[in-house]
Amino acid sequence: MDILEHPNPALKQTALDVDPSCDSELPRLVKAMAHAMHEAPGVGLAATQVGVQKRVIVFDVDDGVVALCNPVIVDRSAETEVEDEGCLSLPGITVPVERAYSCVCEALDLKGEPLRLEAEGFVARVLQHETDHLDGVLIIDRAEPAERRAAMRRYRELGESR
Ligand SMILES: [Zn+2]
């Protein structure tokens, strides 16, 4: 399973909701996504990054792989934090991105059972980053214009030297 890289147009698409109770492909998709994420290596991956337009994300921040279907950030703290962020679909660059410091995410697990995650710090950042992917939003879309231009220049240079 290959991870798509910017400017692949599939990364700009909005993924569709899934129904875990009747989508028999999901367990295999999640397993393949988790494998691709670990291989990269990365801490999170959205289905749109592997060309599958389904609202499914996986992440692994120390506690093992968590898979979420139809994740929605239902609450964000007013407090925000700016940190350098990278993305497996933009290899080689990082850009400063402002995110809510904490958030609440509602989703379904692979059995279709509702989940509610309260996260802060790095995990909250990963959840916001991955759910952004499901709406076709990348870190460069969240960066300040000057930062975005500089990052894209670096990205092109890296692409030319690859
Ligand atoms: Zn990403």
pLDDT in tens, 93-112: 999 999 999 999 999 999 99
Report the distance separating Cα 104 and Cα 41, nearest Å.
Answer: 26
What distance in angstroms lies between residue 23's CA and the mean position of ligand 1's atoms? 24
Task: Please list the helix, strand and coil fractions of the chain in percent, rounded to the nearest 5, in that order.
Answer: 35, 30, 35
H or E element: which one contains 153? helix 145-161
Query: Of 81, 113, 130, 144, which is the active-site residue?
Result: 130
The full set of domains in the chain, from first to last, is: 9-161 (3.90.45.10)
Instruction: Label residue 139 by pLDDT band (50, 70, 90).
Output: very high
Report whether 125 contacts 99 (CB < 8 A): yes
What distance in angstroms lies between residue 161's CA and the mean position of ligand 1's atoms? 22
Instruction: Give the pLDDT score at 160.
Output: 87
Residue 62, pLDDT > 90, answer: no
State yes or no: is 130 an active-site residue. Answer: yes
Instruction: Give the pLDDT score at 19.
Output: 97
Residue 43, pLDDT > 90, answer: yes
Concatenated DSSP letters for 100-133? ESEEEEEEE-TTS-EEEEEEEHHHHHHHHHHHHH
Q: What is the CA radius of gyration of the chain?
A: 15
What distance in angstroms lies between residue 13's CA and the mean position of ligand 1's atoms? 14
